[in-house]
Structure 1
Amino acid sequence: MRWLSAEEQRIWRGFMTAVTTFSEHLDRQLQRDAGMPMAYYEILVALSETPGRALRMSELAMMCHSSRSRLSHAVAKLEKEGWVVRRACPSDRRGSIAELTDEGFAVLEAAAPGHVTTVREHLFDVLTPEQLRALDGISRAISAGLSTECDRARAEVPEF
């Protein structure tokens, strides 16, 4: 067992505090200004950026880094709002596809400016260009270090 040194512990806690606090701030802003949590916004964005504004639920879960049950619950809420519709996958009846509605796209368009402003003010405007480049490299390194484990976990989850 390799325990964290005092400096590593300080860095770890600072990183976790920054990530958690920033995520909570983004979630509060979206709840206040758009009436939706960050998770719903991420689903709408993912759908808006795909051809036909539609994705198989399994692909959407991967893109949103969500479990099947959490995504299914969120999509059900988005369906009730009229922002997303779910339909059977034509190539595989076991699967389903989530599609962004015009109303959902309009809600996303209305929410995006406030969200982008918040991201800009609390991330890009507080870091120097050198810090942003370092953050990019750090983010890529962390993601690359986790990609094999994430790929293995995804392979164990059946399609839906």
Structure 2
Amino acid sequence: MTSQKILLPYNFTSEDQKAAEFVIRTFAHQKDVEITLFNTYIPAPQIEVRGSPIMEKMMSNVNYLSKKIDDQEAALKTTKEELIRNGFSEDRIRYIFEARKKDVARDIVDLCRKDHFDMVVLNRSKEKVGRFFTGSVFSKVVGALEDMVVCVVT
């Protein structure tokens, strides 16, 4: 029986890798912990070609985006396998790879509430420029969650 559910949002950055390594060091030996890797993606648009050469060219771009999404899911599965290789049993690791519903932060908060996670492991980018353009997922998640442990890996 699982007594602690931990959410690990993962977006394939070096900071995310550090968070995964922290989870491995801290929780791999605990048999009552379940880890959920979480990533959202922006879905590729649906385009009707209808014999138009311009639309066919756009479709090749859409196909490229779809391939990138498939590659992201494969990378998330690889991260799951890394957790398993480092001590977690397969039945204690889940991953959720789904289309973005709102924004990353709100999707994380909604999932934490819906699935009743006990802890979320976040990281915080040190790059101010990146936070300026993307908004700080960290700040939004920490500000929105109540009665939950938020672990920050830097």
TM-score of the two chains, using structure 1 as the length reference: 0.30
Answer 1 or 2: which has greater helix percent.
Answer: 1
Q: Point out the structure with the larger strand share.
A: 2
Higher relative contact order (CA 8 A, sep 6+): 2
Query: Normalising by the residue count of structure 2, what TM-score does the alignment of the two structures yield?
Result: 0.31
